[in-house]
């Protein structure tokens, strides 16, 4: 896994979380049928329970399911975007147990038992925007908006660690999040404005 700011984090999506596919070297005839029955016997899906924005979800998932896919396709929250699927862009940043992480770098099974916050969970129940969302709006910190959910999640985590960052600190802190519209100046100004509120 890679954290939202590009640092190594816990877990590794290349590890199969203890569930491995059967040997498929010979996939013809009776052996092929045997392999199918192995899947059935072993149960290819894994039950996980994850709290997302305060609501606990229990689902059967394939072990290969990425956390971002789980959030979008099983939980149904599509505010978390997929920009690259390869831990490069930060569009999929969420908070996992309070830390910003890139959710395409984790398997859903690795989040079993965790508490997740997505962009949908940032505003108050009455619709009042999170201060970081408000700062992005007031400082024109978004253009097409595709990177914005990930930027907001990474930026709030940044201010939690460093409540009074310099402009340089913000630029370094958000280096793992890319904006295809290249709106970095206003994104940085938004984060600084939020910090100075
Ligand atoms: Fe996860 Fe780009 S989609 S880092
Ligand atoms: Fe378009 Fe950042 S606002 S990708």
Q: How far apart are CA 104 and CA 1, in angstroms?
A: 8
135 lines ligand 1 (CB under 6 A): no
Q: How far apart are CA 174 and CA 150, in angstroms?
A: 10
- Give the atom of ligand 2 at the shortest distance from the alpha carbon of 145: 3
Q: How far is the CA of 35 from the centre of ligand 1 (A)?
A: 33
Q: What does the mean pLDDT of the chain come to?
A: 85
Average pLDDT (45-68) is 97
- The answer, as to whether pTM is greater than 0.85, is no
pLDDT at residue 84, rounded to an integer:
97
Average pLDDT (162-189) is 98
Query: Over the stretch 95-133, which tens digit does the pLDDT of each residue have?
Result: 999 999 999 999 999 999 999 999 999 999 999 999 999
Closest residue by Cα to atom 2, ligand 2, is 179
141 lines ligand 2 (CB under 6 A): no
Closest residue by Cα to atom 4, ligand 1, is 87
pLDDT at residue 11, rounded to an integer:
39
Q: If pLDDT is split at 50, 70 and 90, which confidence band does 197 have? A: confident
| Higher per-residue pLDDT: 172 or 25 | 172
21 lines ligand 1 (CB under 6 A): no
């Amino acid at each position: 896994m890679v954290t939202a700011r590009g640092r190594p984090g816990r877990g590794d999506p290349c590890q199969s979380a203890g569930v491995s596919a059967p040997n498929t070297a010979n996939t013809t005839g009776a052996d092929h049928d045997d392999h199918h029955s192995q899947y059935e016997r072993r149960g290819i899906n894994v039950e996980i329970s994850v709290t997302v924005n305060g609501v606990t979800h229990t689902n059967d998932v394939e072990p290969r399911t990425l956390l971002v896919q789980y959030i979008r396709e099983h939980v149904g929250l599509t505010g978390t975007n997929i920009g690259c699927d390869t831990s490069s862009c930060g569009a999929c940043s969420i908070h996992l147990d309070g830390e910003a992480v890139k959710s395409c770098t984790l398997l859903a099974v690795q989040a079993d038992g965790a508490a997740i916050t997505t962009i949908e969970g940032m505003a108050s129940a009455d619709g009042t925007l999170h201060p970081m969302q408000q700062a992005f709006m007031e400082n024109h910190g978004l253009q097409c908006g595709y990177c914005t959910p990930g930027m907001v999640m990474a930026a709030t985590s940044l201010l939690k660690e460093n409540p009074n960052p310099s402009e340089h600190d913000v630029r370094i802190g958000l280096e793992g999040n890319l904006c295809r519209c290249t709106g970095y100046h206003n994104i940085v100004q938004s984060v600084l404005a939020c910090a100075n509120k």
